[in-house]
């Protein structure tokens, strides 16, 4: 079985030395890759710049990822070649269009003027100004394209919320199943993630009433492997 796993977080560049990132460690993606490798499967791991990674080994292909655009391009190429996609990467919802100081902003501050305005491109933006203004644009939802690239792939997606009830979390997870056409969504709440302790729920479209509860990262990785082997064969 050939498996694509995305792990860690993306970093969206502001200039050549700065970027917007997130706190994703890639611990779960690393562990999931190791479970598949120990079971004898081939793994392609798309890993964020600072993510934890397995030791180099046979059957593991590691592809470093920075921003959303590079992730999109690599996944578009690789997804048609694999049997399973585990999309656990924390992908940035927004990316910088530009950052500039007040002096260089357009005179008329309207939505049109701000979204069409482009300051002079600098390799390193000056830090002289006391304040900077940044315009962000929404990034594409890459998980929505996975089934378009490969309708037969087994797709595991993730949904992370913070401070919600289990009922709310599961409702949002089922909505994401419908939006993404994923086979499974692993739903988790940031408040229930502490080190290896990681409460999560596996929901699926086929078994809408069946929810699998998992208490730690090892259980999550093992469940993903088990479901993959049940539904995909060498």
The mean pLDDT value for 77-102 works out to: 94
Say how far apart CA 123 and CA 17 lie, in whole Å: 8
Across the strands, what pairs with 201? 187, 213
127 vs 140 pLDDT, higher one? 140
pLDDT tens sequence across 174-221: 999 999 999 999 999 999 988 778 999 999 987 767 899 999 999 999
pLDDT, position 232: 79
What is the average pLDDT score of the chain? 92
Q: Is the pLDDT of residue 63 over 70?
A: yes
The closest of 17, 165, 180 to 85, measured between CA atoms, is 180
Structure tokens given for 24: 């994703």
φ/ψ of residue 167, rounded to 5: -65, -45
**pLDDT bracket for residue 126 (50, 70, 90):** confident
Q: Tell me which of 111-120, 146-155, 169-178 is least confident.
A: 111-120
Give the pTM.
0.91
Q: Is the pLDDT of residue 233 over 80?
A: no
Cβ–Cβ under 8 Å, residues 220 and 233: no
The closest of 146, 190, 154, 199 to 25, measured between CA atoms, is 190
């Amino acid at each position: 079985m050939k498996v694509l796993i995305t792990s860690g977080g993306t970093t969206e560049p502001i200039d050549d030395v700065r970027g917007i990132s997130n706190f994703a460690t890639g611990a779960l993606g690393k562990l999931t890759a190791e479970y598949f490798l120990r079971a004898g499967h081939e793994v392609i791991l798309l890993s964020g710049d600072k993510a934890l990674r397995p030791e180099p080994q046979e059957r593991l292909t590691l592809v470093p990822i920075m921003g959303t655009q590079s992730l999109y391009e690599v996944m578009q190429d690789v997804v048609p070649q694999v049997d399973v996609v585990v999309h656990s990467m924390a992908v940035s919802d927004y990316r910088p269009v530009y950052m500039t100081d007040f002096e260089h902003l357009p005179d008329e501050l309207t939505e049109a003027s701000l979204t069409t305005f482009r300051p002079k491109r600098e390799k390193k933006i000056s830090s002289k100004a006391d304040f900077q203004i940044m315009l962000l644009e929404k990034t594409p939802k890459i998980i929505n394209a996975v089934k378009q690239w490969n309708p037969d792939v087994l797709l595991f997606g993730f949904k992370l919320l913070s401070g919600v009830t289990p009922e709310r979390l599961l409702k949002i997870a089922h909505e994401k199943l419908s939006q993404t056409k994923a086979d499974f969504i692993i739903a988790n709440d940031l408040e229930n993630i502490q080190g290896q302790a990681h409460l999560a729920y596996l929901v699926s479209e086929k078994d809408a009433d069946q929810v699998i509860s998992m208490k730690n990262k090892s259980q999550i990785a093992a469940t993903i492997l088990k479901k993959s082997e049940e539904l995909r064969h060498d």
